[in-house]
Amino acid sequence: MDVDCIDYKDINFLPKLMNDYVLDNQKLESFFEYKPEIEGFRKAIEQRKFESEKRQVLVDTLYRQYENVEGSKKQLEFINQLKNNNTYTVTTGHQICLFTGPLYFVYKILSVVKLADRLKSEFYEKDFVPIYWMATEDHDFEEINHFFLHNKKFSFQSSTKGAVGDIKPEVSEMLSELEQELGQGKLGVELFGLFQNAYTSNNLSEATFKLVHSLLGEYGIVVLDPNNPELKKLFIPAMAEELNQQIGFSSVTETSKKLTDLGYKTQVNPRDINLFYLQEGDRLRIEKHGDSFRTVENKVSWSKNEVLEELNQHPERFSPNVILRPLYQEVILPNLSYTGGAGELSYWFQLKEMFAAFQVPLPILMLRNSMIVVSKNNVTRLEKLGIKVRDLFSEITDLEERLLKMHGNHQTEFVDERKKLKELFQEIQQVSGKVTPALSTSVEATEAKVNKLIEKLEKKLLKHEKINQKTLLDQLYLILDEVFPNGGFQERQFNFSEYYLEYGKQYLDQAIDMFDPIKPEVSVLKLKN
């Protein structure tokens, strides 16, 4: 395997806000606490305080959640270390996608594992625990019920509504097809066993917990299901404050306006009440009406005192939305940073004033590591074409023209001829000017028309040369189909099993070795025989 990396500043890849953040644009400094660098972590460590009582609740909860799996030595050490005041977490979170869904699910987890290792090497007297926060309370089932392998979609359906973590994984119908697709090789059998063991669980929460633990547990990732009564109790004061004062709406609206005034797009819109109510398979949005509260469609209603009483008696029935979920995370974890993708991190920039209002530190925002995997066949194609992976981020037409210039047999541009034509029209201009200056405009118009005709001819020549060089360009398209399948980025389409089938754990080991959690870049892994 060969490795390479591409700096984000060398490719037009990130949205404007994240690009400015990566490039350290000063106009964003008021929207985050500390920079995503070692010195930023030093400051965050000095500031972060976390009560011993909360630590004990967290540790007890994790031990209970790990009762039914055999934790690795590293995981158990990490959980035990969380009792200590000198231990901090670094966190990533993601939806509980079927069989991990897209590649970047795995990359996010490996990113925080590598970050924890890096911080330990910098601050050896402290301990750092990588956390995967399962988004078990999300209700977007259609986003998590499938994955792609070899361009085939594997999915299941469910009539159950509400929090996806409670849904039973009814995957029996897809098992035979998946087993056939994975094959009977050693790694195919291993992957099928991994899937079958996980998805015979009672619900998707258990299934994802088992899967991530089995696949990545040896790296030390600690999996947390936040949909837990004891953890929700720690969040009662913040949820009560949200119900009483609607802090989320006012603070996030104000911050969002500041961002839009600077020309940035906002990712999320706060609601008057940023909480859901979990009831009988439903996750119902809570709305405020005058002095009372009710869920959408008025399925449940309360007076102010009643809703606060319900919160205190049954905090597990209340669920934070996208605005309050980050706050919940920081309330129940001794956390220093959150690692996410560009779109995901963008909405955190809307939250700083809300965090300040709740008197909770905003974590350091870390852009997750990205990786492009190039199969051995496409490595060979790249070498023959004489291009690099970073060139694939160019416009397709520019890339085609470049290859035709490098490898084509015929001229498709009249560069020298245009120079001669320009000189010719300069002579014509001089001759006509001697007769009458009034012809100057006519000569210029004629020159413009001729240039347009030549431009049309060049396009026709290019079109025919593309036909002549179809075999050459087909090699390019095969590479692009792997790096940008269906026009999207590879890590958002393929499943980890695509490469695990051929390379096993070596593929994951190589990824974690390549990742630099402090330096924003795209890693390139070129697979060889």
Domain assignment present for 498: no
Question: Do 189 and 46 sit in the same domain of this protein?
Answer: yes
Q: What is the pLDDT of residue 56?
A: 98
8 A C-beta contact, residue 192 and residue 178: yes
Domain assignment present for 492: no
Question: Do 176 and 52 sit in the same domain of this protein?
Answer: yes
Question: Do 182 and 248 sit in the same domain of this protein?
Answer: no
Q: What is the pLDDT of residue 472?
A: 83
Q: What is the pLDDT of residue 159?
A: 83
Question: Do 102 and 90 sit in the same domain of this protein?
Answer: yes
pTM, rounded to two decimals:
0.89
Question: Do 266 and 215 sit in the same domain of this protein?
Answer: no
Summarize pLDDT for 355-375 with one digit per residue, the tens. Answer: 999 999 999 999 999 999 999
CA distance 260 to 255: 9
Domain assignment present for 499: no
Helix (H, G, I), strand (E, B) or coil at 202: coil
What strand order describes the sheet that includes 222-224? 222-224, 127-135, 87-95, 335-340, 364-367
Domain assignment present for 194: yes
What angle do the packed helices 103-122 and 505-514 form, to 10 degrees? 50
Binned at pLDDT 50, 70 and 90, residue 178 comes out as: very high
Domain assignment present for 493: no
CA distance 523 to 366: 16
Q: What is the pLDDT of residue 467?
A: 56
Question: Do 219 and 263 sit in the same domain of this protein?
Answer: no
Question: Do 289 and 356 sit in the same domain of this protein?
Answer: no
Out of 320, 353, 387, pick the residue that ends a domain: 320
- Domain of residue 471 covers 376-487
How large is the average pLDDT for residues 411-426? 73
- Among residues 54, 489, 21, the alpha carbon closest in space to that of 232 is found at 54
- Among residues 136, 81, 90, 82, the alpha carbon closest in space to that of 109 is found at 90
pLDDT at 503 over 80: yes
527's tokens:
């697979």
- 């070899």: which residue's tokens? 150
State the pairing for strand pair 301-303/292-295.
antiparallel
Distance (Å) of CA 371 to CA 21, 202, 203, 440: 20, 33, 31, 57
336's tokens:
């220093």
Q: What is the pLDDT of residue 123?
A: 98
Question: Do 132 and 38 sit in the same domain of this protein?
Answer: yes
Domain assignment present for 520: yes
pLDDT at 409 over 60: no
DSSP characters for 39-65? HHHHHHHHH----HHHHHHHHHHHHHH
Question: Do 390 and 298 sit in the same domain of this protein?
Answer: no
Summarize pLDDT for 23-40 with one digit per residue, the tens. Answer: 888 999 999 999 999 999
* Number of domains into which the chain is organized: 3
Question: Do 166 and 78 sit in the same domain of this protein?
Answer: yes
Out of 252, 287, 320, pick the residue that ends a domain: 320
Summarize pLDDT for 450-462 with one digit per residue, the tens. Answer: 888 877 766 666 5
pLDDT at 296 over 80: yes
pLDDT at 464 over 70: no
Domain assignment present for 105: yes
Question: Do 222 and 308 sit in the same domain of this protein?
Answer: no
Binned at pLDDT 50, 70 and 90, residue 466 comes out as: low
Domain assignment present for 494: no
Helix (H, G, I), strand (E, B) or coil at 92: strand
Question: Do 467 and 335 sit in the same domain of this protein?
Answer: no
- Among residues 413, 516, 511, 378, the alpha carbon closest in space to that of 103 is found at 511
8 A C-beta contact, residue 8 and residue 390: no
